[in-house]
C-alpha cells in the first residue's frame, strides 16, 4: 500500500485525492493545510485519512510514503525541498516550479536521495493524449508543419491573479499546451509572446508563437477571460490530428488525411501551377477551399476514459515506485524543467515598451 499525504485542501487537491483512493494499493492517509479546519473538513470525505495541524507535521510523519503537493505555484519548490529532507517521494502540481534553476536543484536533490519525483501534469497520462503524441512522433501525419492550440476558461480564483503566488495565465493554462507539445517539438528556436495584463498585474490572456529551425511553427492562445476552442492540433504533410475539445480531458481524437497538402484532393490542384482549378470567382474554387472546413472526411475515434482522469498519473507514480524508478519515462523531470524555462523565455522575449 502506497500511503499518501496531501498538502493543500483546494479544488485540485480534492479531485486528485479522490483519484488516489480510486487506484488499488494507494490511499490518502493524511491532509494538511494552513488552516486546520480546512484539513478537518477535507478528511470527512476520505476515510482513513488524518487531518494534520501543519504542512511540516504531515511531511515529517513516518507513516507517509509520498507527498502530493497541491499548494499555489510559488510554494512548490520549498515544499519539495522539505519533502526530500524528510525522505518522501513527491508528486508536485504543475507548474513544477517557477524558475528552471530551482527545478534543477530539486531534481538533483531527489535523484541523490533516490526518491521518486514527478510533476502532476495529469493530461500527459491520459490515453488519448499519449496516443496522439506517439502517432505524431511515429509519422502518422508525415512531416509535421504546424501546431496550434488554445486553452481558455473564465477564472476568478484569487491565486491565479496573484503574482506573489506564481499567478498568470501562461503558468496556469498556457503551460499545458507547451507541455503536451514538448515531447514532439523540443526547445523552440524563436519565441514571440503577446500578453495582456489586467489590473492584477498578471498576464490574463496571451498569444504565443514558437518557431523551429525545421520550419515548424507552433501557435497558441490562453485566457482567464474567455472560454476558447480548447483543442490541440498537429498539422503534417499527410494528415491532421486533433485532440479534444477539450484537449486536456478527452477521449476524442480526430484524424483527417484528406485535407493535408499531399492529400488526395490536393493532387489535382498540384497539376495547376496557379494552385486552383480556374478563375477565382468560379464556384468550384470556393468549394475546394471550403473542404477543410467540412467535417465529413474526418475520422473521429474514441479512446476509453475512466474515472475522473487524474488516476492515470497516480497509476504512473505507483508503477514507477513499485519498479524502483525515481523518474517517469513519460514525464521525466528534465521535461518539466524545460517547460518552465520556455515560459520564462517567453516572459523575457516580451518587448519592453
Ligand X SMILES: NC(=O)c1ccc[n+]([C@@H]2O[C@H](COP(=O)([O-])OP(=O)(O)OC[C@H]3O[C@@H](n4cnc5c(N)ncnc54)[C@H](OP(=O)(O)O)[C@@H]3O)[C@@H](O)[C@H]2O)c1
The span from the CA of 185 to the CA of 192, in Å, is 16
Q: 12 or 321, CB closer to ligand X?
A: 12
Q: Which residue is nearest to ligand X (CB)?
A: 10
Q: How far is CA 122 from CA 129, 152, 206, 280, 310, in A?
A: 10, 17, 23, 48, 6
Cβ distance 89 to 67 under 8 Å? Answer: yes
Q: 72 or 195, CB closer to ligand X?
A: 72
Q: 171 or 318, CB closer to ligand X?
A: 171
* Least CB distance to ligand X at residue 286 (A): 43
* Least CB distance to ligand X at residue 331 (A): 12
Q: 31 or 326, CB closer to ligand X?
A: 31
The span from the CA of 222 to the CA of 170, in Å, is 7
Q: 58 or 141, CB closer to ligand X?
A: 58
> Cα 30 to chain center, whole Å?
26
- Which positions touch ligand X (CB under 6 A)? 8-13, 33-35, 38, 70-73, 75, 93-94, 120, 122, 157, 159, 172
* Least CB distance to ligand X at residue 13 (A): 6
Q: 13 or 253, CB closer to ligand X?
A: 13
* Least CB distance to ligand X at residue 244 (A): 15
The span from the CA of 277 to the CA of 129, in Å, is 38
* Least CB distance to ligand X at residue 128 (A): 16
The length of the chain, given as a count of residues: 353
Looking only at the bridges linking them, the beta strands covering 203-211 and 190-197 are antiparallel
* Least CB distance to ligand X at residue 38 (A): 4
* Least CB distance to ligand X at residue 10 (A): 2
Which one-letter DSSP state was computed for residue 214?
T
Question: Would residue 150 be called left, alpha or beta, if left means φ above 0 and alpha means ψ between -120 and 50 degrees?
Answer: beta
Q: 118-128: buried (b, 16+ CB within 10 Å) or exposed (e) per residue?
A: bbbbbbbbbbb
Q: 7 or 257, CB closer to ligand X?
A: 7
Which one-letter DSSP state was computed for residue 170?
I
Q: 8 or 236, CB closer to ligand X?
A: 8
> Cα 162 to chain center, whole Å?
21
Q: 38-74: buried (b, 16+ CB within 10 Å) or exposed (e) per residue?
A: bbeebbeebeebbbbeebeebbbbeebbbbbbbbbbb
Q: Position of cell 490511499?
A: 27
The span from the CA of 140 to the CA of 118, in Å, is 29
* Least CB distance to ligand X at residue 171 (A): 7
Q: 11 or 264, CB closer to ligand X?
A: 11
* Least CB distance to ligand X at residue 138 (A): 27
Amino acid at each position: 500500500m502506497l500511503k499518501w499525504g496531501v498538502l493543500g485542501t483546494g479544488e485540485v487537491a480534492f479531485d486528485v485525492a479522490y483519484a488516489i483512493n480510486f487506484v488499488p494499493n494507494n490511499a490518502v492517509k493524511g491532509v494538511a493545510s494552513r488552516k486546520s479546519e480546512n484539513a478537518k473538513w477535507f478528511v470527512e470525505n476520505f476515510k482513513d485519512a488524518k487531518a494534520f495541524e501543519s504542512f511540516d507535521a504531515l511531511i515529517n510523519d513516518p507513516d507517509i510514503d509520498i507527498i502530493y503537493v497541491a499548494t499555489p505555484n510559488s510554494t512548490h519548490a520549498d515544499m519539495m525541498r522539505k519533502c526530500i529532507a524528510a525522505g518522501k517521494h513527491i508528486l508536485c502540481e504543475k507548474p513544477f516550479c517557477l524558475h528552471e534553476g530551482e527545478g534543477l536543484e530539486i531534481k538533483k536533490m531527489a535523484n541523490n536521495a533516490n526518491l521518486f519525483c514527478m510533476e502532476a501534469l495529469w493530461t500527459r497520462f491520459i490515453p488519448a493524449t499519449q496516443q496522439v503524441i506517439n502517432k505524431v512522433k511515429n509519422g502518422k501525419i508525415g512531416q509535421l508543419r504546424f501546431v496550434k492550440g488554445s486553452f481558455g476558461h473564465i477564472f476568478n480564483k484569487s491565486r491565479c491573479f496573484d503574482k506573489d503566488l506564481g499567478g498568470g495565465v501562461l503558468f496556469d493554462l498556457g503551460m499545458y499546451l507547451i507541455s503536451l507539445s514538448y515531447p514532439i517539438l523540443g526547445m523552440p528556436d524563436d519565441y514571440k509572446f503577446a500578453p495582456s495584463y489586467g489590473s492584477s498585474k498578471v498576464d490574463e490572456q496571451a498569444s504565443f508563437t514558437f518557431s523551429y529551425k525545421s520550419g515548424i511553427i507552433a501557435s497558441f492562445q490562453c485566457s482567464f477571460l474567455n472560454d476558447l476552442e480548447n483543442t490541440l492540433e498537429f498539422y503534417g504533410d499527410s494528415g491532421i490530428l486533433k485532440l479534444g475539445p477539450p484537449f486536456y480531458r478527452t477521449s476524442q481524437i480526430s484524424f483527417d488525411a484528406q485535407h493535408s497538402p499531399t492529400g488526395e484532393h490536393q493532387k489535382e490542384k498540384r497539376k495547376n501551377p496557379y494552385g486552383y482549378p480556374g478563375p477565382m470567382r468560379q464556384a468550384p474554387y470556393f468549394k475546394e477551399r471550403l473542404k477543410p472546413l467540412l467535417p465529413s472526411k474526418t475520422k473521429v475515434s474514441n479512446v476509453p476514459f475512466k474515472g475522473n482522469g487524474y488516476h492515470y498519473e497516480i497509476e504512473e507514480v505507483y508503477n514507477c515506485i513499485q519498479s524502483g524508478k525515481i523518474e517517469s519515462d513519460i514525464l521525466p523531470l528534465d521535461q518539466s524543467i524545460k517547460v518552465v524555462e520556455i515560459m520564462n523565455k517567453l516572459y523575457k522575449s516580451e518587448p519592453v515598451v
